[in-house]
């Protein structure tokens, strides 16, 4: 059986999310577009592409659930998947905790019903070894509703072709062209004007 991806620990989340005091670090706040998604922008893009409002969202790599919380406030049914004991231990809200499936993304995505999510925030693919990635992306596409949108988060240095060491945990240095080909092979086409958003069908 393929080995699950190693959960990310405090060092990762202190660099790219929240520090130990629960406050965003300045470099993260200045360049959030490079490290996460902006829910209002995601919702606007979906409406422009699909011609309707989304109703469901899945956050793969949900961390402390902040994007789920924003999606709930926007009126969506939202759930997440996360495998890091460190970040999960920081969720004090039991209602939020129940919305997040604990497990390896490549395994947990198989249990998501086909065509059930309008929007999938995909933040785990870049951590998977190549032997697991293709099947995982096919399962992500399978879980996406017809006309739904997958928002792919990979380290931006991969897009720029920078071969310098990426942040801890990242296993790939592939280019944006490479990632587009992987998504296209799963029936996901790039949304015009957006490098990170892909539509099913």
Instruction: Report whether 80 contacts 68 (CB < 8 A).
Output: yes
pLDDT in tens, 43-90: 999 999 999 999 999 999 998 898 999 999 999 999 999 988 888 888
Does a structural domain hold residue 14?
Answer: no
Does a structural domain hold residue 40?
Answer: yes
The order of strands in the sheet holding 117-122 is: 100-102, 77-82, 56-60, 117-122, 144-152, 197-200, 188-190
Q: Report the pLDDT value the prediction gives residue 32, as an integer from 0 to 100.
A: 38
Does a structural domain hold residue 84?
Answer: yes
Q: Report the pLDDT value the prediction gives residue 196, as an integer from 0 to 100.
A: 86
pLDDT in tens, 84-129: 888 888 889 999 999 999 999 999 999 999 999 999 999 888 878 7
Does a structural domain hold residue 10?
Answer: no
- Give residues with Cβ within 8 angstroms of 196, minimum separation 6: 37, 151, 152, 153
pTM across the whole model: 0.80
Domain harbouring 57, CATH code: 3.40.50.150
As a whole number of angstroms, the distance between CA 110 and CA 152 comes to 18
pLDDT in tens, 155-172: 644 444 444 343 444 445
As a whole number of angstroms, the distance between CA 66 and CA 52 comes to 24
Does a structural domain hold residue 61?
Answer: yes
Domain span at 83: 30-200
Q: Give 57 or 175, the one with higher predicted confidence.
A: 57
Residue 13 — pLDDT band, cuts 50, 70, 90?
low
How many domains does the chain fold into?
1
Does a structural domain hold residue 152?
Answer: yes
Does a structural domain hold residue 6?
Answer: no
Does a structural domain hold residue 2?
Answer: no
């Amino acid at each position: 059986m393929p080995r699950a991806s190693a959960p990310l620990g405090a060092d990762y989340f202190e660099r790219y999310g929240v520090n130990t005091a629960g406050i965003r670090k300045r470099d993260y706040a200045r360049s959030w577009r490079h490290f996460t998604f902006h829910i209002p922008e995601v919702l606007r893009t979906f409406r422009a592409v699909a011609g309707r409002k989304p109703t469901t969202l899945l956050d793969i790599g949900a961390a402390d659930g902040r994007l789920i919380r924003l999606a709930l406030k926007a009126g969506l049914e939202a759930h997440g998947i996360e495998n890091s004991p460190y970040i999960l231990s920081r969720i004090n809200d039991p209602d939020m905790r129940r919305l997040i499936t604990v497990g390896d993304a490549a395994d947990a995505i198989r249990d998501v019903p086909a065509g059930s999510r309008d929007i999938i925030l995909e933040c785990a693919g870049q951590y998977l070894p190549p032997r697991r990635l293709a099947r995982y992306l096919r399962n992500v596409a399978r879980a996406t509703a017809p006309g739904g949108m997958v928002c792919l988060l990979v380290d931006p240095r991969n897009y720029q072709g920078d071969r310098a060491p990426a942040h801890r945990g990242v296993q790939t240095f592939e280019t944006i062209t490479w990632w587009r080909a992987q998504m296209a092979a799963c029936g996901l086409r790039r949304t015009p004007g957006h490098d990170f958003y892909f539509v099913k069908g």
